[in-house]
Structure 1
Amino acid sequence: MREVDSPSAIYGSGQLQPGPTVVAQVPLVNWVAAGHWQETVESVSPADCEAWIDTTKRVGRTAFALRVKGDSMEPKVPDGAVIVVDPERQPANGSLVVVRLDDDAEATFKKLLIEGGRRYLAPINPRYPVIEIKGPATVCGVVRQVLIDLD
């Protein structure tokens, strides 16, 4: 490590540029709430949310955030990352989505694949299997942003 007398020795003498502009704040909710978000969003109070997350993406008014659990979406989205989800955005083939399969209480986060009229939920981590959506499923929203803390 080398000691530095002033920040300009590191950053140069030019002006520092501002970071991205925060466009909205979205509630951080749990995975069960995410699976039923469209039915409950109007009755959610600020006290029901773990936190409010700043986003630099333009999202719909019903957007929410989730903390990723597990490593099925690594290396792109690590365990503990926060994803910003927009229920008002239409999913497409290859979209990262939050989906609730109708026989599950919790939602899941995967990549949506559409092939020949069939729909699949694919993890990014190859150690996990691809899931064919055979029964009813609800797309809770499309992931618009991934936020990762490095500490």
Structure 2
Amino acid sequence: MTTTKEDVKKWLKVIGRDREWLANQCGVSKRQVDNWLSSSINIPAKAILVIQRLMNGEAESSPRIVIDFTDEEWDIICEAAKAHKETFLEFVNTAIQNAAKEKEAARKKFTPVETFTAPPLEAQGRIIGNIAAGNLADGDTIPQDIWLYRELEKGEYLLRVNGHSMEPSIPDGSVVIMKKYTIPPIPKLGTIVQYHDERGVTLKKLVRRKNPETGKMEYVLHPLNPDFGDIEPMDGGKISGIYVETLERWKKA
């Protein structure tokens, strides 16, 4: 219910307080209180809230939080509280709780980024040749010394990839680390392998497909790029290496 000027006047008489006391409680001058109660000027919304708190029996010495809003801002806040069917204090309490929940959710969602320092290019290796990423082709054997970020392990060697059939995972021109493969049986399906026969050498993924003519399952060399077709069958050739990784950083020695 709206507190009127007459309500305030009667209340002051009942509790035995004067306008000077009310002015001190509202943080204004007595002259301002006189204007509120004696003229056509409406009592500001923020002053009404203080008066209602006092009329509800809250102690004069109760801790007070002073929020410096304009009268227009207070009117907007009061209308919002009324729309939510809450008292002003309930409305403020809900707003504070919601703000705290949003801040906590943002804190939990935030993941500190760990500082990453790229390893220095201090290991030396040699690209021993090229390997086709397309149809089987002769390998190029022009060596090139480079710096890379780790030492090659036993059995590892470097090749430069020529072609687009293994993109986007292994782009044309990439330098890859391969590892010699001499132990039977054939590598597990899904492994990227270096395969060669009398037609040449290529880098492909090892899969198995059913031969529509014979009905038998056969090993097939499968490209990652869908624009290229499978190479089959794998008869008389050899898997001499398996793919380890693509060098993200390297430079000429």
Give TM-score scaled by structure 2 length: 0.40
Contact 1:57 1:144 in 2 (8 A): no
Paired amino acid for 2:233: I
Structure with greater proportional strand content: 1
Aligned to 1:76: 169
Q: 1:112 is matched with which residue: 202, 206, 209?
A: 206
Q: Partners in 2 of 1:57 and 1:119 — Cα distance?
A: 33
Alignment partners' CA distance in 2, 1:29 and 1:68? 11
- Deviation digits for residues 13-49 of structure 1, max 9, x if unmatched? x9954435879654211137xx9xxxxxxxxxxxx73
Runs of 5+ in structure 1 lacking a partner?
1-13, 36-47
SS at match of 1:107: strand
Alignment gaps of 5+ in structure 2: 1-112, 132-136, 210-215
Aligned-pair CA distance for 1:111:
0.5
Change (3 A) 1:74 1:19: same
The reply on whether 1:128 has 2:228 as its aligned counterpart is yes
- CA deviations over 1:85-105 (Å, ceiling 9, x no partner): 0014863200111111x212x
Q: Deviations over 1:105-126 (max 9, x none)?
A: x320110113565211011111
Q: 1:114 to 1:25 in 2, by over 3 A?
A: farther
Contact 1:55–1:84 (8 Å) recurs in 2: no
- Give TM-score scaled by structure 1 length: 0.62
Measured at CA, do residues 55 and 144 of structure 1 come closer, stay the same or move farther in structure 2, by a change above 3 Å?
A: farther
1:114 & 1:23 partners in 2: Cα distance? Answer: 40
1:140 aligns with 2:236: no
In the TM superposition, 1:1-151 aligns within 5 A as 16-20=115-119, 25-31=124-130, 49-52=143-146, 54=148, 56=150, 59=153, 61-88=154-181, 91-100=187-196, 102-104=197-199, 106-115=200-209, 117-148=217-248
Structure 2: how far apart are the matches of 1:142 and 1:118?
A: 19
Query: What SS class does the counterpart of residue 71 from structure 1 fall into?
Result: coil
Tell me, what secondary structure is at the counterpart of 1:132? coil
Over the matched positions of the two proteins, sequence identity in percent amounts to 26
Greater Rg by CA: 2
Secondary structure of the 2:173 match is coil
Once superposed, what is the RMSD of the aligned Cα atoms?
3.5
For residue 137 of structure 1, report the CA deviation from its aligned partner.
1.3
Post-superposition Cα deviations, 1:22-79, rounded to whole Å, max 9, x if no partner, equal 79654211137xx9xxxxxxxxxxxx731245354873x2321111111111111111
Q: Which gives a bigger RCO, structure 1 or 2 (Cα 8 Å, sep 6+)?
A: 1
Contact kept, 8 Å, 1:65 with 1:85, in 2: the verdict is yes
Of Structure 1 and Structure 2, which has the larger fraction of its residues in helix?
Answer: 2
**How many pairs does the alignment contain?**
121
